[in-house]
Amino acid sequence: MRKSNRSLKGILVILMLVFLNFLNIDRIKAEETKEKKTVAVLDFQNVSNSSELNYLQNAIPEMLITGLLISKKVKVVEREKLKKILEELKFSLSGTIAPEESIEIGKMTGADTLLMGSIIKIGYQMRIDARLIDVQTSEIILAEKVKFNTEEEVIEATDILAEKIVKSLTGEKIKIGDGKKLPPKDIKSFQGKALFMETALNNQYRLEGSEEETYLQVDLFAREIKKGKRLPLNIALVIDRSGSMASENKLEYVKDAAKFVIKNLNKDDILAVVTYENGVEVLFEAGEVKSKKYILDIIDKITPGGSTNLSGGMVEGYRQVAMNYRVGQVNRVLLLSDGLANRGITNDESLQAICQQKSREGISISSYGVGIQFNEDLMLVLAEYGAGNYYYIDQAENIANMFEKELKGLLAVVAQDVYLQIEIPGQVKVKELYGYLFTKKGDKIGIKLNDIFAREEKTILLRLKVPVSRRDSLRVARVILTYNDVINMGKKEKELSDIVVSYTKDEKLVEQNENNYIGQTASLMESTLIMEKAIKMVDEGKKKEAEIWLKENVAPLKKKVEKYNTRGLKKQLLNVFDYQDALTAPALSVNEEKAMQKKEKYRQYEIQKSK
């Protein structure tokens, strides 16, 4: 009986200790919650008189929230909740808040402070003005101004602003970094080779019974190249001189760009100059650049003509490069157009097939689309199937900059005939390969990358469906990289990597081994598919459906931005807000809609190509 009583007393003591422990945990949590500063972030007003900045009214607050949430001492009122409360109070999410109104909002939301501000434009420079208001006293406790000129600078400006707000609220110093892994910069990483390859899964462990899909990422990093040491160029400039090129001084800008290319060639390089309108004319047949003055004079004499025989110009450009084709040099066509192909071959698939065949033969093509009348889908696939680059030039004065960008790359090629082969076993299924064209034969996937420039980075991401359960590990892929190493006299290099996943019942082990870097990439690439679907809807005249689609998908993207806090994801969020704002703008003209579509397609192309 005594033993029984002692046992009972022991159990009671244990229960009391457990109870007190729970009370202590609750007290600690309550203290932590009390210590947190709660911020309600309102929309920022666009007072710049520039409607192009309207999307920032919503975008800047979202960027700021991402930065604020890095601090464990700051809590942010959910924007949807805030919007509903303001509607109840008959206030707007954007606009000036009177002192008594800020107190009322504070009571309704539980916020300690309100964050509001404006977007100002003075000349070419833009500025964010932010004010942090204490809801108890209605006093401004922080007033900050940050300047920016580009979208990249908007992100940096909001990061700086968030750091200052956190410090003002809590005294805590935070540093908002990119969160993205940088390519290996140490020359030793390359072991004397031109390329460095990394392969990884989003998790090397897989929970038994999990239905989640797996991501495989292949990163290629290119080395720097010594100045003066480069491959000779064999290029054809194929210039549209149709009648429309006379507008906005486009042809003059093209001529300036062509002159820039010519001035940067040397005696070992081969050049051809081809123009097209109704017909095709070879102004300078492929040959060595012996007299630059002679070629520059030819360029000066180019004048606008009639229609757009794009296929004729392109085929002639290929023919000129083929005349002097050889391994160990850069063989490329540079094709520029500002209009629709309306002479010669006009079928997109036929033109695409020509580029694909020429790529197999070792000649690539880069395409430049100027203005709003050209067919961006065609110009993009020509570059894709032609293993080159695509450029969208919205303003004619940017033509020379784009030619310069391409030429700098061509003058710094470090690897040629770059080819990735990814072998996938039968029990693994490829659900998506993002951003790159590929061929598939049996269990082998092939991706032709052709030339890679110095310091260039290529990211290839695959979404895989792997078996749900397995007793041991599974090789989900074998990646084989082959290329000609320009740095090492064109030596043929081959690298192999086996990617294995191990099955486990340990949830903690899986959680601890999540690869955030690949999670970031996957989130970004998935977002491009969301955007591409919206863009396609607009192309098909389904603008309202596109608006709904983006509205449904913007919240998950915000969550990914908050989770990973990378510049790439933040920039994509800005893209979404910008596109949404353009879609909802009243009465877009036909030309404005064309410009909107071209701009957004190019943005998604650049993301997928890691540009």
CA pair distance 393, 334, nearest whole angstrom: 14
Mean of pLDDT over the chain: 89
Q: What is the DSSP string of 430-471?
A: EEEEES---EEETTEEEEEEEEEETT-EEEEEEEEE--S--S
* pLDDT over threshold 50, residue 31: no
Low-confidence winner among 13-17, 220-224, 462-466 (lowest mean pLDDT): 13-17
pLDDT of residue 373: 87
pTM of the model: 0.88
* pLDDT over threshold 80, residue 411: yes
CA pair distance 292, 260, nearest whole angstrom: 11
Report, as an integer, the average pLDDT of 75-103.
76
Residue 309: CB partners within 8 Å, gap ≥ 6? 276, 277, 278, 279, 280, 341, 343, 344
pLDDT tens per residue across span 312-344: 999 999 999 999 999 989 999 999 998 777 778
Angstrom distances, CA of residue 53 to CA of 154, 250, 364, 557: 11, 27, 38, 21
| Domain range summary for the chain, segments of one domain joined by + | 33-170, 187-226+415-514, 233-411, 518-608
Two tokens, residue 539: 């192309």
Low-confidence winner among 11-25, 170-184, 208-222, 407-421 (lowest mean pLDDT): 11-25
Two tokens, residue 113: 């402070």
pLDDT of residue 608: 95
Report, as an integer, the average pLDDT of 353-366.
95
Q: Place 20 in a pLDDT band, splitting at 50, 70 and 90.
A: low
* pLDDT over threshold 90, residue 93: no
Q: Place 288 in a pLDDT band, splitting at 50, 70 and 90.
A: very high
Per-residue buried b or exposed e for 490-526, using 16+ beta carbons within 10 Å of the residue's own CB: beebebeeebebebeeeeeebeeeebebbbbbbbbbb
* pLDDT over threshold 90, residue 99: no
What would the CATH number be for the domain defined by 33-170?
Answer: 3.40.50.10070
Report, as an integer, the average pLDDT of 248-272.
93
Higher pLDDT residue, 402 or 35? 402
Q: Say if domain 233-411 classifies as CATH 3.40.50.410.
A: yes
pLDDT of residue 18: 55
pLDDT of residue 180: 63
Instruction: Give strand pairing partners of 332.
Output: 235, 364
Low-confidence winner among 15-24, 141-150, 281-290 (lowest mean pLDDT): 15-24
- The answer to whether 187-226+415-514 and 233-411 have equal CATH topology is no
pLDDT of residue 215: 98
Low-confidence winner among 169-178, 430-439, 495-504 (lowest mean pLDDT): 169-178
Q: To which H or E segment does residue 399 belong?
A: helix 399-410
pLDDT tens per residue across span 64-83: 999 999 999 999 998 888 88
* pLDDT over threshold 70, residue 8: no
Q: Is 143 exposed, middle or buried (0-12, 13-18, 19+ CB in 10 A)?
A: exposed
Give me the percent of the chain exceeding a pLDDT of 90: 70
Class of domain 187-226+415-514: mainly beta
pLDDT of residue 4: 52
In angstroms, how far is the first alpha carbon of the chain from the final one? 80
Angstrom distances, CA of residue 262 to CA of 290, 291, 294, 404: 11, 10, 11, 11
pLDDT of residue 471: 81
pLDDT of residue 35: 74
Q: Are 119 and 109 in contact (CB under 8 A)?
A: no
CA pair distance 265, 300, nearest whole angstrom: 18
Report, as an integer, the average pLDDT of 207-229.
91
Angstrom distances, CA of residue 118 to CA of 43, 54, 382: 8, 11, 43
Residue in this structure with the two tokens 């490069």, named with its chain if needed: 321
Beta strands in 203-348 (DSSP E): 205-207, 214-222, 233-240, 270-276, 280-288, 330-337
CA pair distance 526, 200, nearest whole angstrom: 18
Per-residue buried b or exposed e for 351-373, using 16+ beta carbons within 10 Å of the residue's own CB: bbebbbebbeebbbbbbbbbbbb
pLDDT of residue 33: 46
Report, as an integer, the average pLDDT of 217-246.
91
| Residue 585, helix vs strand vs coil | coil
Report, as an integer, the average pLDDT of 532-543.
96
Report, as an integer, the average pLDDT of 420-426.
96
